[in-house]
Amino acid sequence: MKPAERRIAHLDMDAFYASVELLRHPELRGRPVAIGGYGDPSRRGVVTTANYEARAFGVRSAMPMRRAAQLCPQCVFLPVDFDEYRRLSRLFKRAIASITDQIEDRGIDEVYLDLGAVPGVERARGLELAREIKRRVREATGLSCSIGLAPNKLLAKIASDLEKPDGLTLIEPQDIPARIWPLPARRINGIGPKADERLARLGIRTIGELASADPDLLCAHFGQRTGRWMHEAAHGRDERPVVTYSEPVSRSRETTFDRDLHPRHDWHELAGTLASLCRQVAADLRSRGYAGRTIGVKLRFDDFRIVTRDLSIAAPTADEREIRKAAFECLARVQPQRRIRLIGVRVAGLAPRSASAAPRDATPDAVKPRAAGAGASDADSGAGFTPSLFD
């Protein structure tokens, strides 16, 4: 017997950080706006996101702010405020939870939902319910989102991107040839720039070309597992369940310096920044009730090369001093050949903190990126909305 078709939604907020900023700067509506670093394009830092008006000028996530200002001189730049984005993130997720508890948290601005058991899902192939979800999200936050509806997570994720912003897209199996196959292969979540490049060398650029490629050829180039997965994905097949609970895997903070630091002459500033990042990560862990065993440091040099070092300690910790000690040990293991552009610290191997570990630092600290820091920071959930600090 064929299993019943599932009804999965992927919901992704539109231009999330920028849209949150526009809530409190309504006077900027209609103007190009980019969010990043200090909010000052003459200083260092990259764009985290831009609204659709700025994207029309070619401004994109991860682009240096300076470059964004060249592309769009009238663009308004604002600094990042993670606390506010997290607050709105909680609000929109709570609004969705009023409809279903089958929510897989994929980070700050996206979730998967399994709508199969929700009353009313049968109406209009689930579109009516999806419209209701969009309405509740807007009511709770004032923000728009895009939803993809499909029989599985893979197709739902592709679908949510097809009609952004404020989109609602239903993809059913019979739509795959017309709507999915013309798309570039990298639209499949899991095919990154490297795999995409290797596929291009095999003459495979679209999902359709991937679907018609010989699975043996894919396995020969990417290994059995990945090759087979690529073939299945290109045919829109994906059985992964919506996972409603996941522990975060790590917490991290990083900062881009205003100017590249000399590892010896600027030691004072370097060490001060690392200590401050350790303090932030420790506070972040404590306020969320986690401790971690693996502590790591990341450096980006002025040639953009990245070096990471980590070490594992005997027992999980959320203690600032312990984290700092380990982080400085990691730093000491790097032989810096060049000036340093960015420094980051991460605590991984997380476990919920036991109640007995609470007293010394039970007060949850407010976690704010350093006022002086460029403020690149990420909070890696199990799913991760940004690439891991250590990729």
Q: Given 21, 53, 104, 110, which residue is catalytic?
A: 110
17/322 with CB nearer ligand DCP: 17
110 noted as active-site residue: yes
Tokens of 241: 């369940």
Q: Quick one: which of 109, 284, 310, 320 contacts Mg ion (CB under 5 A)?
A: 109
35/121 with CB nearer ligand DCP: 35
Binding mask 11-50 for Mg ion (x = CB under 5 A): -xx--x----------------------------------
Phi, psi for 266 (deg, rounded to 5): -100, 25
Considering all CA atoms of the chain, what is the largest pairwise distance in Å, rounded to the nearest integer?
A: 71
Binding site for ligand DCP (CB under 6 A): 12-17, 48-49, 61-62, 108-109, 164-165, 385-386
Stretch that binds Mg ion, among 89-97, 107-115, 254-262, 289-297 (CB under 5 A): 107-115
134/324 with CB nearer ligand DCP: 134
Regarding 238 and contact with Mg ion (CB under 5 A), the answer is no
Minimum distance between the CB of residue 108 and ligand DCP, rounded to whole angstroms?
6
50/343 with CB nearer ligand DCP: 50
Phi, psi for 76 (deg, rounded to 5): -95, 130
Sequence-distant contacts of 100-107: CB under 8 A, at least 24 apart: 101/244, 102/242, 102/244, 103/242, 103/244, 104/242, 104/243, 104/244, 104/246, 104/383, 105/246, 105/381, 105/382, 105/383, 106/381, 106/383, 106/384, 106/385, 107/381, 107/383, 107/384, 107/385, 107/386
Choose the contact partner of 263 out of Mg ion, ligand DCP, none; CB within 5 to 8 A by kind. Answer: none
Is residue 95 packed enough to be buried (19+ CB in 10 Å), middle (13-18) or exposed (0-12)?
A: buried
49/141 with CB nearer ligand DCP: 49
Q: Binding to Mg ion (CB under 5 A): which residues in 48-87?
A: none
How far, CA to CA in Å, does 382 sit from each of 78, 213, 309, 346?
Answer: 28, 33, 21, 14
Regarding 114 and contact with Mg ion (CB under 5 A), the answer is no
Residues in the chain, how many?
A: 391
Catalytic residues: 110
Give residues in contact with Mg ion (CB under 5 A). 12-13, 16, 109
